[in-house]
C-alpha cells in the first residue's frame, strides 16, 4: 500500500526498524519505511546448495566490502583491528546473525554506580523487561528458565539440542564449578506462526531457508506490512532534512532506479545501526546543523563500541559431530560476567560456545597453521579434526571512549555518491586485559573437558557485528545525542531506535536488547502522540 503523506518515516528495516514498524503499526499512524536492500529469497540461501560453505567467501560474506552488493555501502575500516560486519536487506543483519540472543544484565544499565566507569543508562533492566518479553514473543526464542545469571525469563521454546559436544563441555564447566547455560536462541524449536522448527541445518549465519531462525523479514515484517506499513525496498536515504527554522521535514532518498526523491514526515525514526546511523546524521548537514543533524553535543559518531572477540578452539580425540547444528547457539558461560576487581579489570565477558566449522574453514585454517598438512596425509589429518573441534567466542564488554569513532571518509562513496563511513578504533587496556583473561579461562575449560590441544587468538578481525554507542542516550544534551526516550535533544520528532543509542555495550550479543529498546521508545512515542 503506497502512502503519500506519512506521519512516520522509518529509515532501515533491520532488527530495530522492523520492531519499531510493527509497534507503531498497532496505531492509526501512517508509516513508510525506506530500506536500501531488498527482500531475501530463502530458496537462494547457501544451505540449499551443495557448495554452501564457499558462498561465505562471496555474496554471503560478513563484510560489505567483500560482498560489494548494490545494497551495500563500502566502509573504510582499515584503521581498526576489528572489521565491520553487517548485512543490508529487509531483516538487516538478522539475516546473517547466528541468532544468539541473550539479554543485557541488570548491572549493564548502571556501570557508573557499580564500577565508576562510563555512564548509567537512563533506564533500568526492569524498565525494559516487558519489552524484552514482548520481543521474545514476536521473534520466537528458545532457551531454558532458571538461569542463576539472570532474573527470571519465561515463555521460551525448548532449548536447541547441545549434542555430544555440549555434554563434553558441560562436564568441563562442572568440574571447575563454573556457570554454563543452554543458549538463549532466536531460533524456534517448535513450529510457530507460519515458520518451521529448527532442523539443524548448521550455517544459520548465512540465512535460514527453513525459517526457524528469527530474522525480522519473517517475524515482524509480515505483520507490520499486513497492518499497513508501506515498506519501500532498494531505497537509500541520503539525508534527513529540516526547514529554514531547523524543523524536521523528512528525507531525501534514491529509489531503486537511482531517482532522487523526497519523502515528507512528521516523525523520523533512524534505525541504520551503530555505523549507518551516524553516517546518515553526519551526511545531513544544513545551515542549522553544520556539523551534522542532531550533533550539537558533538557526540554523533563518537563512543563506538564493537565487542572485541577472543577465540579459543579445542581439539578432541572423540567424534563429537561438532560441525552439525546451529553454529552459534549451543551454550554460554557467564562465570566472569560481573565485575571482580581482583581480576585486574572492570566489567566482564560471556563465553559463547561455538560448534565446529565446516570442511572448508577447517581445512583452510588448519593448513595455514600447519596443523593439517597438504599431500599424502592431508585427508587423514582432516578427518581427525572435522567434527572434533569446539570453539569458544569471548565477548568482552567494550567501554565507551570518544576516540573510537565513525566519521565520513572524504575519498569513498557508495553507488549513489553518498560519502561512506570511516572507522577509527583501538582497544582499551581494560578490553585487552579481559581478552587475555577470557582466553586463559577458555583454555582451562577446554583442557578440563578433555581437549588434547587448544588454539587461541584475539581480537578476531572479521567480527565487528555489534555496533553500538555512536548516538548516545542520556538526560543531559551536552553529553548525549538523544534523550531517555530516544528523541534527539536538538530536533523534535527525530528518534534513534537502534544500538547507536546504547550507553554501554554489555558483554553479550546486543540484538535482543536493541529490539527491546526500540519497542520501549515506540511505546513512549505512542503515549506522547496519544495515538494508542
Query: Per CB under 8 A, which of residues 320..359 are in contact with another protein?
Result: 321, 323-325, 334, 337-339, 358-359
Q: How far apart are CA 44 and CA 22, in angstroms?
A: 26
Q: Which is nearer to another protein, 4 or 43 (CB)?
A: 43
Q: Does residue number 184 form part of the binding site for another protein (CB under 8 A)?
A: no
Interacting residue with another protein among 63, 71, 210, 277 (CB under 8 A): 210
Whole-angstrom CA distances from 122 to 299, 472, 482, 483, 517 are 17, 11, 11, 8, 12
Q: How far apart are CA 447 and CA 444, in angstroms?
A: 5
Q: Does residue 84 sit in helix, strand or coil?
A: strand
Q: Which is nearer to another protein, 51 or 410 (CB)?
A: 51
For the chain, helix, strand, coil in percent to 5 are: 30, 20, 50
Interaction with another protein in 149-178: which residues (CB under 8 A)? 149-151, 159, 161-164, 166-167, 170-171, 173-174, 177
- H or E stretch covering 391: strand 389-396
- All cell numbers assigned to 77: 575500516
Q: Does residue 427 sit in helix, strand or coil?
A: coil
Among residues 13, 92, 499, the alpha carbon closest in space to that of 273 is found at 499
Interacting residue with another protein among 118, 282, 363, 508 (CB under 8 A): 363
Q: Are 88 and 68 in contact (CB under 8 A)?
A: no
Stretch that binds another protein, among 101-109, 232-240, 401-409, 448-456 (CB under 8 A): 101-109
Q: Are 274 and 500 in contact (CB under 8 A)?
A: yes
Interaction with another protein in 119-148: which residues (CB under 8 A)? 144, 146, 148
Interacting residue with another protein among 41, 44, 54, 262 (CB under 8 A): 54
Stretch that binds another protein, among 47-55, 280-288, 292-300, 397-405 (CB under 8 A): 47-55
Among residues 513, 362, 473, the alpha carbon closest in space to that of 53 is found at 362
Q: Which is nearer to another protein, 22 or 192 (CB)?
A: 192
Interacting residue with another protein among 40, 84, 386, 511 (CB under 8 A): 386
Q: Which is nearer to another protein, 348 or 393 (CB)?
A: 348
Interacting residue with another protein among 14, 202, 459, 469 (CB under 8 A): 202
How many positions of this chain bind another protein (CB under 8 A)? 71
Interaction with another protein in 405-434: which residues (CB under 8 A)? none
Q: How far apart are CA 121 and CA 501, in angstroms?
A: 10
Q: Which is nearer to another protein, 106 or 222 (CB)?
A: 106
Amino acid at each position: 500500500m503506497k502512502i503519500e503523506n506519512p506521519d512516520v518515516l522509518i529509515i532501515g528495516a533491520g532488527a530495530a526498524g522492523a520492531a519499531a514498524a510493527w509497534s507503531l503499526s498497532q496505531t492509526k499512524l501512517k508509516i513508510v519505511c525506506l530500506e536500501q536492500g531488498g527482500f531475501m529469497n530463502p530458496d537462494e540461501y547457501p544451505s540449499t546448495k551443495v557448495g554452501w560453505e564457499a558462498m561465505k567467501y562471496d555474496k554471503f560474506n560478513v563484510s560489505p566490502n567483500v560482498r560489494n552488493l548494490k545494497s551495500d555501502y563500502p566502509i573504510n575500516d582499515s584503521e581498526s583491528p576489528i572489521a565491520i560486519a553487517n548485512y543490508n536487506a529487509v531483516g538487516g543483519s538478522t539475516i546473517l546473525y547466528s541468532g544468539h540472543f541473550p539479554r543485557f544484565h541488570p548491572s549493564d544499565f548502571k556501570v557508573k554506580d557499580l564500577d565508576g566507569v562510563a555512564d548509567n543508562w537512563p533506564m533500568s533492566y526492569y524498565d525494559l523487561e516487558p519489552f524484552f518479553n514482548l520481543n521474545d514473543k514476536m521473534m520466537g526464542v528458545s532457551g531454558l528458565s532458571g538461569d542463576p545469571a539472570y532474573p527470571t525469563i519465561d515463555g521460551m521454546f525448548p532449548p536447541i539440542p547441545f549434542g555430544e559436544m555440549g555434554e563434553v563441555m558441560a562436564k568441563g564447566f562442572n568440574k571447575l564449578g563454573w556457570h554454563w547455560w543452554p543458549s538463549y536462541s532466536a531460533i524456534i524449536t517448535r513450529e510457530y506462526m507460519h515458520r518451521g522448527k529448527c532442523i539443524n541445518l548448521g550455517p544459520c549465519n548465512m540465512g535460514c531457508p527453513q525459517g526457524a531462525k528469527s530474522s525480522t523479514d519473517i517475524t515482524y515484517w509480515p505483520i507490520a506490512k499486513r497492518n499497513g506499513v508501506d515498506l519501500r525496498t532498494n531505497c537509500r536515504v541520503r539525508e534527513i532534512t529540516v526547514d529554514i527554522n531547523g524543523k524536521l521535514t523528512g528525507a531525501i532518498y534514491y529509489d531503486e532506479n537511482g531517482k532522487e526523491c523526497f519523502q515528507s514526515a512528521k516523525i523520523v525514526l533512524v534505525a541504520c545501526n551503530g555505523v549507518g546511523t551516524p553516517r546518515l546524521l553526519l551526511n545531513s548537514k544544513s545551515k542549522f546543523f553544520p556539523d551534522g543533524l542532531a550533533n550539537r553535543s558533538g557526540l554523533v559518531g563518537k563512543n563506538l563500541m564493537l565487542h572485541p572477540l577472543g577465540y579459543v578452539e579445542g581439539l578432541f580425540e572423540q567424534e563429537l559431530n561438532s560441525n552439525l547444528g546451529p553454529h552459534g547457539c549451543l551454550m554460554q558461560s557467564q562465570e566472569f560476567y560481573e565485575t571482580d576487581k581482583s581480576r585486574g579489570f572492570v566489567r566482564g565477558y560471556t563465553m559463547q560456545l561455538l560448534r565446529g566449522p565446516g570442511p572448508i574453514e577447517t581445512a583452510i585454517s588448519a593448513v595455514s597453521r600447519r596443523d593439517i598438512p597438504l599431500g599424502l596425509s592431508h585427508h587423514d589429518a582432516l578427518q581427525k579434526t572435522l567434527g572434533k573441534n569446539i570453539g569458544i567466542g569471548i565477548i568482552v564488554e567494550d567501554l565507551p571512549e570518544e576516540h573510537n569513532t565513525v566519521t565520513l571518509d572524504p575519498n569513498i562513496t557508495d553507488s549513489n555518491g553518498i560519502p561512506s563511513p570511516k572507522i577509527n578504533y583501538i582497544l582499551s587496556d581494560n578490553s585487552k586485559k579481559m581478552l587475555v583473561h577470557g582466553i586463559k579461562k577458555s583454555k582451562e575449560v577446554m583442557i578440563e573437558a578433555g581437549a588434547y590441544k587448544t588454539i587461541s587468538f584475539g581480537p578476531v578481525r572479521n567480527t565487528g557485528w555489534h555496533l553500538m554507542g555512536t548516538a548516545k542516550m542520556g538526560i543531559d544534551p551536552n553529553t548525549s545525542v538523544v534523550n531517555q526516550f530516544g528523541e534527539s535533544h536538538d530536533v523534535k520528532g527525530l528518534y534513534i531506535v537502534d544500538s547507536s543509542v546504547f550507553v554501554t555495550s554489555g558483554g553479550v550479543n546486543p540484538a535482543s536488547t536493541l529490539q527491546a529498546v526500540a519497542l520501549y521508545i515506540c511505546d513512549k512515542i505512542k503515549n506522547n502522540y496519544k495515538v494508542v
